[in-house]
Structure 1
């Protein structure tokens, strides 16, 4: 196995430029940007400050970093981009500044791989250029969406058109999006993995309703995590992405690298939480000294370092497997990284909150947002339990069992 998980010379240069850009332009206005994005209500995709930061990032050549295609992005390996993701993960809105935010990145990747020239011109080009945002609608409240073969949103043919009816929720960044990529069941009698079709639905299509933004730990602002309803939403045949029945396969194709991006970003916010915890422990007066003198606090800081470094190595190993063998060969490594990174970063942030005491529970620090994102990561992109089943299946197969 190739164990070199370090940055390439190109990746190193980009990381230095990205770090300098974030220090100069992003972090000084992070609180202001947070407030602007929290107030965003659509239909505009970005507020003035975010638009200005995105223009600066594009002018600086720090744009579409996630794209491996050198004609459109920077041609970075997944290992390289994993390192950059960690840097971007230090700020909640930093990925969006560089046009590297979910769900747009995943949508761009499947559009790049499966869209027709006309679909690319209509949707992919403006997403690449950053003039619009998109959302991805798969999860449903009535079914366990960890198994997308059982989704209940239906798409039926009506002449040359399709009529979509259904209910979706936890649809990230729907407010202000112009495109909704929707997975719907188009042939309920087919093989379970061939029932679904992916549709490209403009958000202003009659019958597509944003019911609400679902409160997450008491927060429901900004682009949000929306509940959507589809009431006889009519789209033409050219709204089908790929072929009818290929929706499940496209959805799986979309998730692999995205899970790595999420995990590495989580390591970025875990590192920031650790820095805050170390500084707090070293400066907070406690019993004639500082918190850092307490054995229990030192143990928390040490466990944080172990968790962060182990998570980083597992994520980069998965990224390297994708680079060398492709996404399908990396499913086991992706699952291992996903489970460990989500749990480890939540633990790291939780310990950082504990070290800060009551301050750690307040929104004066970014720790509460980091904790919420870490907890959500244990469910999003496949719940822990789904990935644990995948890991166990591979373990059984390694010993010649569970061949079915």
Structure 2
């Protein structure tokens, strides 16, 4: 029923991207600045090379400069890109810009498209997404306290947000705020574009978190009597929750396939070290415990890959695939952690140093079980969906 073998075009994309990673990405990892990414004098020429190869912004349509691929092709490319923490920036597909671009493609007016989407899609500017609040559960946007009130031809936003990824150095934010507090839970909020030089916008601090690899940090921000023109509403009033979902499904597909890229690189390091490191007269790879690490990692990675490609295939058929996306989110995050953990164990003391990428991968992997919804929420989505389907006598798988 399912054929995930790459087409000729997909083979070309994968091969070209893989060669580019070897030639240009891995050699430049040493230039990454924690929480800031690559310096522009290195990043911008590499981005141009990617554009020249036709591999730029795989998540966006061609009319805004992207590749215009389906989800399976995006997933296969993301698997290659995921092998390096700097690659998503070089290939123009890093969160939160990728998700914001997807929202703008669907909801931006012509003026918003020209002013925000096109420069964002081209990599000329960065953006951030302000939804999560410290006072309420980040996994339930129905509880948001941020407010946006109409005052003449302006909206006045008051909000306290955090984990607004990429805020430092960004040009604008997309903020979710309550516009209709008495409406049904999924109709209460709307999205707004706020330029970050607005006097009502303030970056309070860059929140210290595990990991190094997100440019612009994870920030606490405030919108205090922040006035914006009414034309800065994104989409229609009450569509905040609906539009936010546009970025989450594709984003989770991309995350899961990038995680597989991290797993592949960790596996390569594990195999290489197991073959050349000797102890007690044998290489590590000759010990059964190490062989078990390798075999278990291969099985986990294959299962996660097939699950992710299946979810991508469903989305290419027009299915929202919420259950399948939730499955790959919590399962893929566990595989990511376990494979890196085994690779570190094989490397012993070397694995916890900065002499390999593994310790950095490991720190980043812990947050994968929280962002874009914690594991527990995704397990709840899967279980609830299956229970309801079984109760109704519907097909489960």
Q: TM-score range by the shorter chain?
A: over 0.9
Which whole-Å deviations, capped at 9, do the CAs of 1:96-138 have from their partners, x for residues lacking one?
1011111111111110111100000100110122100111111
User: Within the alignment, does 1:26 sit opposite 2:17 as a pair?
Assistant: no
Question: Counterparts in 2 of 1:165-176, with a 5 A limit?
Answer: 165-176=158-169
Aligned to 1:363, which of 354, 365, 378? 354
Equivalent residue number for residue 237 of structure 2 = 244
Instruction: Return the match for 2:42 from 42, 49, 55.
Output: 49
Q: Which residue of 2 aligns with 1:275?
A: 268
Offset at 1:71?
A: 6.8
Q: Secondary structure at the match of 2:391?
A: coil
Match of 1:147? 140
Q: Deviations over 1:204-249 (max 9, x none)?
A: 1112111121111275984211111111111110110001111011
**Aligned residue for 1:202?**
195
TM-score by length of 2: 0.95
SS of alignment partner, residue 329 of structure 2:
helix
User: Quick one: which of 116, 132, 139 aligns to 2:109?
Assistant: 116
Structure 2 equivalent of residue 66 of structure 1: 59
Q: Residue 64 of structure 2 contacts residue 118 of structure 2 at CA under 8 Å; is this kept in 1?
A: no
Deviation, 1:350, is 0.8
Per the TM alignment, residue 75 of structure 1 is displaced from its structure 2 partner at its CA by: 2.7
CA distance in 2 between partners of 1:134 and 1:170 (Å) = 13
Deviation at 1:336, TM superposition (A): 0.9
Which residue number corresponds to residue 309 of structure 1? 302
- Which of 128, 147, 150 aligns to 2:121? It is 128
Deviations 1:122-162 (A, max 9, x none): 00110122100111111111111111111111111121111
Report if aligned partners of 2:65, 2:122 keep a CA contact under 8 Å in 1.
no
Report the CA distance between 1:273 and its aligned residue.
Answer: 0.5
Q: Distance in 2 between matches of 1:39 and 1:86?
A: 23
Report the number of matched residues.
394
Q: Take 2:214 and 2:388, find their aligned partners in 1: how far apart are those partners?
A: 45
State yes or no: 1:333 paired with 2:332.
no
Q: What do the CA deviations read for 1:278-318 (whole angstroms, capped 9, x no partner)?
A: 11111112111121122111111111111111100000000
Who is 1:382 aligned against? 373
Q: Aligned residue for 2:174?
A: 181
Deviation at residue 254 of structure 1 after TM alignment: 1.7
Given that residues 185 and 195 in structure 1 are in contact (C-alpha distance below 8 angstroms), is that contact kept between their aligned partners in structure 2? yes
Partner of 1:262: 255
1:220 to 1:336, Cα distance in 2 relative to 1, 3 A? closer
Give distance in 1, aligned partners of 2:345 and 2:123.
Answer: 39
**Ranges in structure 1 where 5+ consecutive residues have no aligned partner:** none
Once the two structures are superposed, what CA deviation does each residue of 1:241-266 show, in whole Å capped at 9, x if it has no partner? 00111101101122111110001000
Distance 1:8 1:152, change over 3 A: same
Could you tell me whether the CA contact under 8 Å between 2:36 and 2:217 is conserved in 1? no
- Partner secondary structure for residue 332 of structure 1: helix
TM-score normalised by L of structure 1: 0.93
What is the match of residue 15 of structure 1?
A: 14
